[in-house]
Structure 1
Amino acid sequence: MDDRKELMLSRLWRTAFIIASMYVDAQNAQLVPALFIFGDSLVDVGNNNHILLSLVKANFPHNGVDYPAGKATGRFSNGLNSADFVGQKLGFGGSPLPYLSLQGQANFSSSILNGVNFASGGAGILDENSGGSLSMNKQVEYYATVYGNLAAQLGSAEAEKLVAKSLFVVVVGSDDLFSYFKSNSKLQAKYTPQQYVDLLISTLKAQLERIYNLGARRIVSVGVGTVGCCPSQRSQKNKTGDCVEEVNNLARDFNDALKSLLSSQLTPNLQGFTYAFCNTYGVTSSYFQNPSVYGFKDVVNACCGAGKLNARVPCLPVVKYCSNRGEYLFWDLYHPTQIVSQMLVDAFYEGSVDQVSPINVKQLIST
């Protein structure tokens, strides 16, 4: 058996195991009391399903073709996304439930004890970039509601203890960068790239500080990836189909500023604050540079879609999708395939300092 076939079989077995694990109780105890997830479509597990006026939804085929029973759940993926894999690593079996699915439910108080997923497809750091989605500010507001409920249930001291030992994951920024380069955007006329990055970072700083003031101590901050290389950008902005460097340059600048925020501003000034910065840009760059090493056959086209690079028509029920999804980096015009989400979480959970720093996620939850 050649190496490529062996790699594909390994992936198939691994995917089968992942799906089976969704139906059985976690074998390991939870490694943290609760998991709280903030961010955009990369970690949305169904919040946008409950936003009536939002056009940013994934609760229809072909999304979820590799999810248990082939169900489209609102995840922008052929199967599981990064929120699910983080939850599995921590012994929860998957992502916490989406916050909007819990609103008004009789079991709200008991459901939030293991954490909540606030992420919303299309969410930005800036309210103006979030459209009808839950902006980062709105997600933090909802977390404040959850924290108040925990304090009412458990008492202030116990709620504070639970939250301090829990893990907070923040995956946001990509939509803000896309907004800057939209053809009808006024942002470029209003801000230079550096001014825009400064605005994003100062806004995110206030959001992270508010989460901290509501008890968060362990933060996983996920940097923006090589967003200029996603099919939507390649197909719209570059006739050759190459990566769009001006988009990637802004992503690098944002990531550098985010790392500085975490290390130079938050850590020295917030007692007990600990973090892991996930170098998504660096890890995904290696996929583009050496795709075959990682088992990828296609790192340019979307698996699901139509038109140039399968990115001119989104992943809708009327289009076709590829059969060899484990060999594609992109599921649709923006989002990674299930296997990529898993690979990224694996890298960030136990990876080296070039992948995640100053410590990895496994080390973070041990602090």
Structure 2
Amino acid sequence: MLFLFLFVIVVLGLRSPFAEAQKVPAIYVLGDSLVDVGNNNHLKLSLAKADFPHNGIDFLGQKSTGRFCNGKNSADFFAEKVGLPISPPYLSLVSNKSGSNAFPITGVSFASGGAGIFNSTDQRYRQSIPLTKQVEYDSTVYEDLVQQLGSATALDHLSKSLFAVVIGSNDILGYFKSGSDLPKKITQQQYVDLMVMTLKDVLKRMHNFGSRKFVVAGIGAVGCCLSQRNQNKTSEECNEEANYWSVKYNESLKSMLQGLKSELNDMDYSYVDTYTIFSSFIQSPSTYGPFLFF
């Protein structure tokens, strides 16, 4: 899957002082299908599942794992990059929880296929874990860590951990999908502004629970997704309007992160420029080998 490949390339290329393995005790992942490692398998009503072949065909055991790809996804490679085990899906831990100290101190994944910044984004998939709910789960893990380690040690642990946030594509796709009534209710600019402000509130909530180091991904050229191309007569051209507002969202996201860094002096972040690399894939696919496809 192109988006996964893209995110892996960018993340593994991050040069940040907090991306050294010895300084990263845990990775906590929030997001959508690009980083879901199996949470949706535990959602009975969800239509966004990857629990069937050929998902997982290149994963250990060659079985589907709930990842929306053939093998490991970007969250898995990210964990390996900093020398940590893969962060397990939160819902698998909750379903098996028989007492306290159930959450591993090396990280947890809250990501859910179909999720968006807005609670209503997942309606077409019937059920997923929206970002606000993922943060509620994060607060539960925070409380569990305080019980395990004590307040001071837990906060020190979290301050050194990485929090990857990969979300927003489904919100843009939802606005521009065929038959969407959102354009009748809110302008593109208002929608993008609301996305950014909602995400800012989420990041501040996470900061309240000890998060200090963030890896935040912008969104790619979502207008070039098959669902968007299929809306065109030729089924070949990208939806340039969707791409335009993807760029506008990313610009607002970067500005928001810079401002939030000034507001929260102990916050650090790396921004993943998904759009630029994705555009390079589209313009020069042969540069990246014979197996790159859309």
The TM-score, its normalising length taken from structure 1, stands at 0.71
- Are residue 152 (structure 1) and residue 130 (structure 2) matched? no
Kindly tell me the number of residue pairs found equivalent between the two proteins. 271
The question of whether the paired residues in 2 share the 8 Å contact of 1:30 and 1:92 is answered with: no
How large is the RMSD of aligned CA atoms in angstroms? 1.6
Q: Which amino acid aligns with 1:76?
A: F
Q: For residues 145 and 46 of structure 2, what CA distance do their matches in structure 1 show? A: 29
Q: Which residue of 1 aligns with 2:293?
A: 329
Q: Which amino acid aligns with 2:272?
A: C
Q: Secondary structure at the match of 1:239?
A: coil
- Are residue 103 (structure 1) and residue 132 (structure 2) matched? no
The question of whether the paired residues in 2 share the 8 Å contact of 1:112 and 1:146 is answered with: no
Q: Which amino acid aligns with 1:293?
A: T
Alignment match of 2:273 (pick from 253, 259, 279):
279
Q: Which amino acid aligns with 1:59?
A: D
Q: For residues 81 and 227 of structure 2, what CA distance do their matches in structure 1 show? A: 31
Q: Secondary structure at the match of 2:29?
A: strand
Q: For residues 161 and 180 of structure 1, what CA distance do their matches in structure 2 show? A: 40
Q: Secondary structure at the match of 2:231?
A: helix
Q: For residues 111 and 54 of structure 2, what CA distance do their matches in structure 1 show? A: 21
Alignment match of 1:53 (pick from 34, 45, 57):
45
Q: Which residue of 2 aligns with 1:125?
A: 117
Q: Which amino acid aligns with 2:52?
A: F
Q: Which amino acid aligns with 2:246?
A: A
Q: Which residue of 1 aligns with 2:15?
A: none
Q: Which amino acid aligns with 1:101?
A: S
Q: For residues 112 and 58 of structure 2, what CA distance do their matches in structure 1 show? A: 21
Alignment match of 1:112 (pick from 101, 104, 112):
104
The runs of 5 or more residues in structure 2 that have no matched partner are: 1-19
- Are residue 245 (structure 1) and residue 209 (structure 2) matched? no
Q: For residues 85 and 108 of structure 1, what CA distance do their matches in structure 2 show? A: 29
Q: Which residue of 2 aligns with 1:309?
A: none
Q: Which residue of 1 aligns with 2:176?
A: 181
C-alpha offsets along residues 256-288 of structure 1, whole Å, 9 cap, x if unaligned?
01000001x201111211100000000111111
Q: For residues 278 and 63 of structure 2, what CA distance do their matches in structure 1 show? A: 27
Q: For residues 206 and 81 of structure 1, what CA distance do their matches in structure 2 show? A: 27
Alpha-carbon offset, residue 236 of structure 1: 2.8
What does 1:288-307 align with in structure 2 at a 5 Å threshold? 288-295=282-289, 297=290
Q: For residues 157 and 233 of structure 2, what CA distance do their matches in structure 1 show? A: 49
The question of whether the paired residues in 2 share the 8 Å contact of 1:252 and 1:281 is answered with: yes
Alpha-carbon offset, residue 243 of structure 1: 1.3
Alpha-carbon offset, residue 183 of structure 1: 2.2
Q: Which residue of 2 aligns with 1:89?
A: 81
* Seq. identity, %: 51
Q: Secondary structure at the match of 2:120?
A: helix
The question of whether the paired residues in 2 share the 8 Å contact of 1:46 and 1:74 is answered with: yes
Alpha-carbon offset, residue 111 of structure 1: 3.5
Alignment match of 2:190 (pick from 191, 195, 213):
195
C-alpha offsets along residues 62-88 of structure 1, whole Å, 9 cap, x if unaligned?
111211222100000011111011011
Alignment match of 1:77 (pick from 69, 72, 77):
69
Alignment match of 1:143 (pick from 124, 127, 138):
138
C-alpha offsets along residues 216-273 of structure 1, whole Å, 9 cap, x if unaligned?
110000000111112222123342511110111111011001000001x201111211
Q: For residues 56 and 106 of structure 2, what CA distance do their matches in structure 1 show? A: 24
Q: Secondary structure at the match of 2:108?
A: strand
Consecutive aligned runs of 4 or more in structure 1 exceeding 4 Å deviation: 28-31
The question of whether the paired residues in 2 share the 8 Å contact of 1:57 and 1:74 is answered with: yes
Q: Mark the CA change 1:266 to 1:250 in structure 2 (over 3 Å): closer, same or farther.
A: same
The question of whether the paired residues in 2 share the 8 Å contact of 1:238 and 1:244 is answered with: no
Q: Which amino acid aligns with 2:183?
A: Q
Q: Whose Rg is larger?
A: 1
The question of whether the paired residues in 2 share the 8 Å contact of 1:99 and 1:117 is answered with: yes
Alpha-carbon offset, residue 110 of structure 1: 4.7
Alpha-carbon offset, residue 203 of structure 1: 0.6
Q: Secondary structure at the match of 2:236?
A: coil
Q: Mark the CA change 1:270 to 1:235 in structure 2 (over 3 Å): closer, same or farther.
A: same
Q: For residues 197 and 240 of structure 1, what CA distance do their matches in structure 2 show? A: 26
The question of whether the paired residues in 1 share the 8 Å contact of 2:33 and 2:115 is answered with: yes
Q: Secondary structure at the match of 1:36?
A: strand
Q: Which amino acid aligns with 2:278?
A: T
What does 1:313-352 align with in structure 2 at a 5 Å threshold? 327-330=291-294
Q: Which amino acid aligns with 1:281?
A: Y
